[in-house]
């Protein structure tokens, strides 16, 4: 989940928490922790119960990402599966809370909306003005078609879109004339005109996998004015193909945002490293950014691992996970530098973060040669957020435990954050298995979404620090 600065908005010891039944059982239970634990962990006592909300529902799995609506109330997107019918498909669940962490009774049933079908996967969530949301995902797993669903502020599906998709969704198909195809949706964002950008990837035939950015109009139709021009950027109306560099390369876009200028930044993975493209408002390459092609590439490990799926020989590669833009218009991208086996299995990962100047050149005041590798041990990043003072939060997991890391302005580990630069959610009494998203609101409070293996999720809100 991506956010820009202008849109935003002593370590505690391990504690045990009990559970009490919540007033709205549709969203499971709230956790109750001691006042001592709240003080130690710096949780916001005005949120949920003692700064924490726990939703226990085996149907809501996995937790995917969250957004904040106009009054900064959290909205959480998750998968939805009713295992009682034996379905192998996955639908979606959307949970909305008020700003104090209480399920919003005006949204769906008890604050929860679930898809009509269990074959409606949705993997991204974008907030629109007026309290509505757009969800996007493949028509089904392995499909060459993308679907987007608009939910109104009460959680009902807006039937006015219904452009050929299931249950009121708009459908956009993109496939070769022959051979396998498939699309993914990995990030989305609405601009100030209500248009929605959806980033992801597409498979074209047996060997081509490239990044994609699609833009749809506020009415749910293709924005035909948005299309790339030139080699590597050509696409059908409404679609731009990125990082299309070879038949065996792994290429994907998993972060996207519209800048104040109307230009678009798309961040992802290309050639076994990080890649950031800047597009002009209609999708053509902004050749003033990065290299002459409008793309800036950073390889944190220096050793390329280019085969699709990183299989074929043991190698090291870096994959981008999230991107933010700070108040100085510098671009920060975080991800994982991983060792892969010959079979493509991950043997271990560490955190890598890079920062670029507004023109896409390396910011050498950050880390070493614009690359920071904080000493946090094994780490798999999933999300990033930025505080008003420019310090960066990275959420992920380490050795199977959820972890939030904070970096200083130069990319070093900020040890003023909970004593050693890290917050282990497990020390708050959580049973979560990993951080899924991290946000900062306009008051400087830190909101963390964590996944629970048994289904459901946990939300934490930390006081400004």
pTM for this entry: 0.87
pLDDT in tens, 184-231: 899 999 999 999 999 998 876 665 678 899 999 999 998 989 987 543
* Per-chain mean pLDDT for the chain: 82
Check residue 85 and give its pLDDT.
52
Helix or strand (DSSP H, E) at 33: none
Check residue 305 and give its pLDDT.
64
Residue 313 has pLDDT above 70, yes or no: no
- Tell me, yes or no, whether 4 lies in a domain: no
Q: How much of the chain, in percent, has pLDDT values that exceed 70?
A: 80
Check residue 331 and give its pLDDT.
98
Q: What does DSSP say about strands 52-55 and 3-4: parallel, antiparallel, or unpaired?
A: unpaired
Confidence of residue 9 (pLDDT cuts 50, 70, 90): very low
In terms of Cβ atoms closer than 10 Å to its own Cβ (0-12, 13-18, 19+), residue 31 is buried
Q: How many domains does the chain have?
A: 1
pLDDT in tens, 335-364: 998 887 777 677 888 999 999 999 999 999
- Tell me, yes or no, whether 81 lies in a domain: no
Tokens representing 82?
Answer: 């009713």
Cα 67 from chain centroid? 10
In terms of Cβ atoms closer than 10 Å to its own Cβ (0-12, 13-18, 19+), residue 32 is middle
Confidence of residue 23 (pLDDT cuts 50, 70, 90): very low
3-class secondary structure, 339: strand
Contact assessment for residue 326 and residue 5, using Cβ atoms and an 8 Å cutoff:
yes
- Tell me, yes or no, whether 229 lies in a domain: yes
In terms of Cβ atoms closer than 10 Å to its own Cβ (0-12, 13-18, 19+), residue 454 is exposed
- pLDDT: is 304 or 29 the higher one? 304
- Tell me, yes or no, whether 107 lies in a domain: no
- Tell me, yes or no, whether 452 lies in a domain: no
Q: How far is CA 89 from CA 50, 83, 117, 124, 371, in A?
A: 36, 10, 9, 17, 40
Q: How much of the chain, in percent, has pLDDT values that exceed 90?
A: 53
Half-sphere exposure in the Cβ direction for 249 (13 Å, CA): 20
pLDDT in tens, 118-168: 778 899 999 998 889 999 998 876 778 889 999 999 999 998 886 777 778
3-class secondary structure, 426: helix
In 97-194, where do the E strands start and end?
112-114, 124-127, 133-138, 145-151, 170-173, 181-190
Confidence of residue 3 (pLDDT cuts 50, 70, 90): very low
Residue 232 has pLDDT above 50, yes or no: no
Check residue 330 and give its pLDDT.
97
Check residue 342 and give its pLDDT.
72
pLDDT in tens, 280-289: 999 999 999 9
Residue 28 has pLDDT above 60, yes or no: no
- Tell me, yes or no, whether 355 lies in a domain: yes
Contact assessment for residue 268 and residue 252, using Cβ atoms and an 8 Å cutoff:
yes
Residue 268 has pLDDT above 80, yes or no: yes
Check residue 160 and give its pLDDT.
84
Residue 62 has pLDDT above 70, yes or no: yes
Lowest mean pLDDT among 87-101, 213-227, 265-279, 353-367: 87-101
**Residues pairing with 219 in the sheet:** none
Tokens representing 448?
Answer: 């963390």
Q: Residue 100 carries which DSSP code? A: T
Check residue 237 and give its pLDDT.
79
What CA–CA distance (Å, rounded) separates 365 from 210? 32
Residues with Cβ within 8 Å of residue 381, at least 6 apart in sequence: 321, 322, 334, 335, 336, 351, 394, 395, 396
**Closest alpha carbon to 66 in 413, 459, 381, 360:** 459
pLDDT in tens, 155-187: 999 988 867 777 788 888 875 545 556 788 999
Residue 2 has pLDDT above 90, yes or no: no
Torsion angles phi and psi, residue 412, rounded to 5: -80, 160
3-class secondary structure, 225: coil
- Tell me, yes or no, whether 16 lies in a domain: no
What CA–CA distance (Å, rounded) separates 197 from 283? 11
- Tell me, yes or no, whether 147 lies in a domain: no
Confidence of residue 20 (pLDDT cuts 50, 70, 90): very low
Residue 17 has pLDDT above 70, yes or no: no
Task: State which residues form the domain around 208.
Answer: 179-373
- pLDDT: is 222 or 83 the higher one? 222
Residue 323 has pLDDT above 90, yes or no: yes
Check residue 430 and give its pLDDT.
81
Check residue 25 and give its pLDDT.
38
């Amino acid at each position: 989940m991506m956010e820009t600065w202008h849109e935003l908005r002593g370590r505690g010891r391990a504690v045990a928490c009990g559970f009490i039944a919540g007033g709205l059982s549709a969203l499971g239970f709230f956790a109750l922790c001691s006042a001592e634990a709240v003080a130690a962990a710096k949780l916001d006592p005005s949120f949920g119960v003692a700064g924490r909300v726990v939703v226990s529902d085996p149907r809501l799995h996995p937790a995917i990402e969250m957004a904040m609506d106009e009054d900064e109330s959290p909205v959480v997107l998750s998968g939805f599966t009713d295992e009682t019918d034996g379905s192998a498909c996955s639908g979606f669940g959307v949970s909305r809370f008020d700003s104090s962490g209480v399920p919003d009774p005006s949204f769906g049933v008890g604050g929860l909306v679930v898809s009509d079908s269990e074959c409606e996967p949705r993997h991204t969530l974008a907030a629109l003005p007026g309290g509505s949301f757009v969800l996007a995902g493949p028509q089904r797993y392995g499909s060459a078609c993308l679907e987007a669903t608009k939910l109104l502020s009460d959680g009902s599906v807006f039937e006015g879109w219904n452009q050929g998709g299931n249950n009121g969704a708009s459908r956009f198909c993109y496939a070769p004339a022959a051979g396998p195809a498939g699309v993914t949706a990995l990030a989305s964002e609405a601009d100030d005109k209500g248009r929605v950008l959806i980033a992801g990837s597409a498979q074209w035939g047996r060997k081509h996998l490239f990044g994609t950015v699609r833009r749809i109009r506020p009415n749910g139709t293709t924005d035909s004015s948005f299309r790339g021009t030139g080699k590597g950027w050509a696409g059908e109306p409404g679609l731009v193909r990125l990082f299309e560099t070879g038949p065996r390369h792994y290429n994907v876009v998993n972060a996207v945002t519209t800048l104040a200028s109307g230009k678009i930044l798309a961040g992802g993975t290309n050639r076994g490293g990080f890649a950031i493209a800047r597009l002009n408002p209609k999708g053509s390459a902004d050749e003033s950014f990065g290299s002459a092609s409008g793309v800036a590439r950073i390889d944190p490990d220096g050793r390329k691992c280019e085969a699709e799926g990183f299989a074929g020989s043991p190698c090291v590669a870096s994959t981008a996970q999230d991107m933010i833009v700070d108040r100085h218009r510098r671009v920060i991208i975080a991800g994982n530098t991983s060792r892969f086996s010959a079979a493509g299995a991950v043997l271990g990962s560490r955190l890598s973060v890079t920062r670029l100047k507004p023109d896409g050149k390396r910011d050498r005041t950050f880390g070493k040669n614009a690359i920071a590798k904080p000493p946090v041990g094994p780490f798999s990043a999933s999300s990033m957020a930025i505080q008003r003072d420019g310090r960066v939060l990275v959420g992920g997991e380490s050795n199977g435990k959820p972890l939030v890391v904070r970096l200083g302005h130069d990319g070093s580990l900020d040890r003023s954050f909970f004593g050693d630069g890290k917050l282990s959610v497990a020390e708050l009494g959580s049973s979560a298995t990993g951080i899924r998203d991290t946000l900062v609101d306009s008051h400087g409070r830190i909101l963390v979404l964590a996944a629970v293996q048994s289904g459901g999720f946990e939300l934490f809100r930390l006081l400004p620090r």
